[in-house]
C-alpha cells in the first residue's frame, strides 16, 4: 500500500512538472507573439518609402522653409503648439532614416544621396532661421530657445526610442501614420536648427554650437536605431556584380556603422556623466544651504573643469565649516571637484550693493506711488471740469439762431427774450429756463401760437422744463 501511495505521489509530481512546463511554453509563446516585430514586415515597400523621403525636391524644399519659419515663430513666442505644428510637416526625418537604411543594406548610393540631402536641408534650415531671427524684434531669448542650447542624456534616450519606434512603424504593411507623426514631434529635430540660426543671428556661438550638437546627437541616434532594426529584420542587402566592389562597400558600411556606434556610446556616456555631476552638485549645494544657513545667490557648476563656484551673502561660513563641507564632496561623488565660496569682504560689498539696490527700489516705488496719486487727483479735477463744461455747453442757449428761427416761424412775433429763474420750495433749489415773448396787436390767436411755440422751443432746445411767458 505504501508503494501505491509512493507511485501516486510520483505521478502527481510528473503531472505538475508537465503542466508547469506547458504553462512556461505557452507563456513564452505568448510573449514571443506579443513582442515579435518580424511578422507583418514589408521590406520592399519600407525601403522604397524611405528612399522616396530622402530627396529635397522643389516642393520639399519649400515645405522645409515654411516649417522652419513656423517653428522659429513658435520658439520666439514660446508656443509649444506652434512648434509641434511645424514639426509635423517637416521633411527632415527622411535623409536620417536613409543613412540608417543605407548602412544596414550596404547601399552606397543611398548613403551618398542621404548625406548630401541632409546637408542641404540643414544649411537651408539654418539660413532660413538666421534670416528670421536677424529681424531685431524677433531676437528675444525665450525659454523655448534656451531649452535647445544644450543636449541632455534624456534627449539621447528620446532619439533612440523614437528612431526604433519610427522604423518599426514604417516597416509595417499598413503604415502607422499616427505613430510616425508622434515620433516627428518627440524627436524634435527642427527646434535645434532654428536655435542654431538664432545663435548666428545674435552672434552667440555657444547657442549655435550647443543647438547643432543637439541636432547631430538626435540624428545619429535615430540613424543608429534605424540601422539596428534593419539588421534585426534582416532586410536584403544590395548585391553588386563585382564581388570586390561588394566586399569593399560592405567594409565601408561596417566601418561607418562602427564609428557611429562608438561615437554614440561615447556621447551617451559623456552626457550621462555630465548630468550626474550636475545633479550631485545641486544636491550638495542645497544640503549646504540648509545645514549652514548660507544664502547662495549665485551658483556655477563647471563639469569640464570639475569646479563649483558659490557666492554667499547669508550667514558667513567659518573656515572649519568650509573644510568640513569640502571633505563632504566625496559623499556626493564629487571627489575631484574644486569648491570655491566667495564671501567676507567681497560678500560685504555684494551685500551693500544689494542693499543699495533695495533702497533705490523702495525709493522709486514711493516716488512712483506719489506721482500716481498726483496724477489721480489731476484726473479727478479734469473730469469734474469736463462735467461742468459739458453742463454749461448743454445749458447754453443759441439765442441769435433761435430768435431768427422764431421770427421766420411766427410772423406775428414782436419780441423774444430768454432768462434763467432760480426758484426753491425750501427743500431744493432749481434753475428754470424762461422765454418771454410779445406779439403784435394784430395777432388774434395768441394762445394757440403760444402753445405751439412752447412745444417747439422745448423740443428745439431739449428743455422739457422750459416755460414760455407773454409780456
The pLDDT assigned to 131 comes to 93
Query: Are 462 and 334 contained in the same domain?
Result: no
Least confident of 111-120, 255-264, 437-446: 255-264
Tell me if the pTM is above 0.75.
no
Range of the domain at 319: 276-346
pLDDT digits (tens, 9 = 90+) for 207-260: 898 888 888 888 888 888 888 888 888 888 877 655 566 567 667 666 766 776
Position 127 scores a pLDDT of 94
CA 224 vs CA 38, 68, 99, 102, 436: distances in Å? 19, 25, 9, 11, 103
Q: How confident is the model at residue 366 (pLDDT cuts 50, 70, 90)?
A: confident
Give per-residue burial for 134-156: e unless 16+ CB within 10 Å, then b: eeeeeeeeeebbebbbbbbbebb
**199 found inside a domain:** yes
The radius of gyration of the chain from alpha carbons, rounded to an integer in Å, stands at 43
Residues 80 and 126 grouped into a single domain: yes
In a domain, 315, yes or no: yes
Which has the minimum average pLDDT: 8-12, 272-276, 439-443? 8-12
Q: Is it the case that residue 4 has pLDDT exceeding 70?
A: no
Nearest of 167, 166, 208 to residue 186 by alpha carbon: 166
Q: pLDDT digit string (tens) for 410-437?
A: 878 888 888 888 888 788 878 788 888 8
Confidence of residue 197 (pLDDT cuts 50, 70, 90): very high
Question: Given this model, what pLDDT does residue 123 score?
Answer: 93
For the chain, percent of residues with pLDDT exceeding 70? 81
Which string of b and e fits 339-355 if b means at least 16 CB within 10 Å?
bebebeeebeebeeeee
Query: 111: Cβ–Cβ under 8 A, 6 or more apart, which residues?
Result: 98, 99, 102, 103, 253, 256
**Domain end call among 238, 261, 291:** 238
Instruction: Mark whether 168 and 228 lie in a shared domain.
Output: yes
pLDDT at site 241: 55
Q: Dump pLDDT digits (tens) for 115-140.
A: 899 999 999 999 999 999 999 888 88
Is the pLDDT at 282 greater than 60, yes or no?
yes
pLDDT number for residue 178: 46
Q: Are residues 91 and 227 in the same domain?
A: yes
Our count of domains for the chain comes to 4
Residue owning grid cell 565601408: 252
pLDDT confidence of residue 154: 75
pLDDT of residue 129: 92
Sign of the dihedral through C-alpha 73, 76, 82, 86: positive
Residue 179's pLDDT is: 47
Alpha-helix runs per DSSP H in 240-343 = 243-292, 319-327
Q: What pLDDT is recorded for position 128?
A: 93
Residues 147 and 167 in one domain: yes
Name, of 7-16, 126-135, 151-160, 379-388, the range with top average pLDDT: 126-135
Residue 132: per-residue pLDDT: 92
Does 193 lie in the same domain as 53? yes
326-365 pLDDT tens trace? 888 888 888 888 888 887 655 555 555 666 777 788 887 8
Q: Is the same domain home to 226 and 282?
A: no
Query: Average pLDDT, stretch 172-178?
Result: 59
Residue 25 resides in a domain: no
For residue 285, give the CATH number of its domain.
Answer: 3.30.300
With respect to residue 254, please indicate whether it lies within any of the assigned structural domains. Answer: no
Helix, strand or coil, per DSSP, at residue 189: coil
CATH of the domain at 103: 1.20.1080
243, part of any domain: no
Position 277 confidence tier, pLDDT thresholds 50, 70, 90: confident
Shared domain for 336 and 364, answered yes or no, is no
15-58 tens-digit pLDDT: 667 777 776 776 766 666 666 666 767 788 888 888 888 888 87
Is 269 within the bounds of a domain? no
Q: Do 295 and 321 lie in a common domain?
A: yes
Is the same domain home to 172 and 193? yes
Residue 187, pLDDT above cutoff 80: no
pLDDT value of position 33 = 63
Within this chain, do residues 334 and 207 fall inside the same structural domain, yes or no?
A: no
Domain annotation covers residue 2: no
- Kindly tell me if the per-residue pLDDT of 167 is higher than 60: yes
What per-residue confidence (pLDDT) applies to 257?
A: 62
Q: Which three cell numbers stand for residue 337?
A: 571637484
Which pLDDT belongs to residue 198? 92
Instruction: Tell me the per-residue pLDDT of 55-109, one tens digit each, with 9 for 90 and over.
Output: 888 788 898 899 899 989 988 888 878 887 777 777 888 888 888 888 888 888 8
Tell whether 407 is covered by a domain. Answer: yes
Same domain, 83 and 196: yes
Amino acid at each position: 500500500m505504501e508503494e501505491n501511495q509512493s507511485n501516486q505521489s510520483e505521478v502527481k509530481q510528473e503531472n505538475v512538472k508537465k503542466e508547469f512546463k506547458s504553462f512556461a511554453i505557452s507563456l513564452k509563446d505568448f510573449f514571443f507573439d506579443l513582442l515579435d516585430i518580424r511578422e507583418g514586415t514589408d521590406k520592399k515597400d519600407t525601403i522604397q518609402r524611405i528612399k522616396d523621403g530622402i530627396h529635397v525636391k522643389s516642393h520639399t524644399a519649400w515645405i522645409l522653409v515654411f516649417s522652419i519659419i513656423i517653428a522659429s515663430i513658435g520658439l520666439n513666442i514660446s508656443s509649444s503648439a506652434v512648434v509641434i505644428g511645424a514639426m509635423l510637416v517637416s521633411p527632415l526625418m527622411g535623409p536620417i532614416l536613409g543613412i540608417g537604411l543605407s548602412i544596414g543594406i550596404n547601399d552606397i548610393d543611398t548613403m551618398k544621396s542621404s548625406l548630401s540631402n541632409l546637408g542641404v536641408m540643414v544649411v537651408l534650415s539654418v539660413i532660413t532661421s538666421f534670416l528670421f531671427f536677424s529681424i531685431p524684434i524677433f531676437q528675444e531669448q525665450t525659454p523655448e530657445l534656451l531649452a535647445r542650447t544644450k543636449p541632455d542624456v534624456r534627449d539621447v534616450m528620446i532619439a533612440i526610442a523614437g528612431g526604433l519606434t519610427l522604423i518599426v512603424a514604417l516597416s509595417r504593411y499598413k503604415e502607422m501614420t499616427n505613430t510616425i507623426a508622434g515620433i516627428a514631434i518627440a524627436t524634435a529635430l527642427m527646434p535645434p536648427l532654428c536655435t542654431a540660426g538664432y545663435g548666428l543671428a545674435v552672434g552667440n556661438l555657444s547657442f549655435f554650437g550647443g543647438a547643432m550638437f543637439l541636432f547631430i546627437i538626435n540624428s545619429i541616434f535615430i540613424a543608429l536605431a534605424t540601422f539596428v532594426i534593419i539588421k534585426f529584420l534582416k532586410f536584403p542587402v544590395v548585391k553588386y556584380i563585382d564581388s570586390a566592389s561588394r566586399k569593399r562597400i560592405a567594409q565601408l558600411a561596417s566601418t561607418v556603422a562602427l564609428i557611429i556606434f562608438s561615437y554614440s556610446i561615447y556621447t551617451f556616456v559623456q552626457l550621462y556623466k555630465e548630468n550626474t555631476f550636475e545633479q550631485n552638485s545641486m544636491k550638495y549645494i542645497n544640503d549646504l544651504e540648509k545645514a549652514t544657513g548660507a544664502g547662495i545667490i549665485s551658483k556655477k557648476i563647471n563639469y569640464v573643469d570639475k569646479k563649483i563656484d558659490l557666492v554667499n551673502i547669508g550667514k558667513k561660513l567659518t573656515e572649519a565649516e568650509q573644510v568640513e563641507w569640502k571633505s563632504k564632496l566625496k559623499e556626493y561623488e564629487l571627489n575631484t571637484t574644486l569648491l570655491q565660496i566667495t564671501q567676507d569682504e567681497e560678500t560685504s560689498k555684494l551685500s551693500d550693493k544689494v542693499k543699495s539696490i533695495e533702497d533705490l527700489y523702495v525709493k522709486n516705488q514711493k516716488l512712483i506711488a506719489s506721482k500716481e496719486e498726483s496724477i489721480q487727483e489731476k484726473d479727478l479735477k479734469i473730469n469734474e471740469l469736463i462735467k461742468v463744461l459739458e453742463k454749461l455747453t448743454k445749458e447754453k442757449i443759441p439765442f441769435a439762431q433761435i430768435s431768427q428761427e422764431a421770427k421766420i416761424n411766427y410772423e406775428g412775433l414782436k419780441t423774444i427774450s430768454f432768462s434763467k429763474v432760480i426758484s426753491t420750495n425750501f427743500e431744493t433749489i432749481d434753475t428754470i429756463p424762461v422765454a418771454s415773448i410779445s406779439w403784435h396787436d394784430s395777432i388774434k390767436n395768441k394762445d394757440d401760437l403760444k402753445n405751439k411755440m412752447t412745444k417747439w422751443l422745448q423740443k428745439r432746445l431739449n428743455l422739457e422744463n422750459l416755460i414760455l411767458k407773454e409780456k
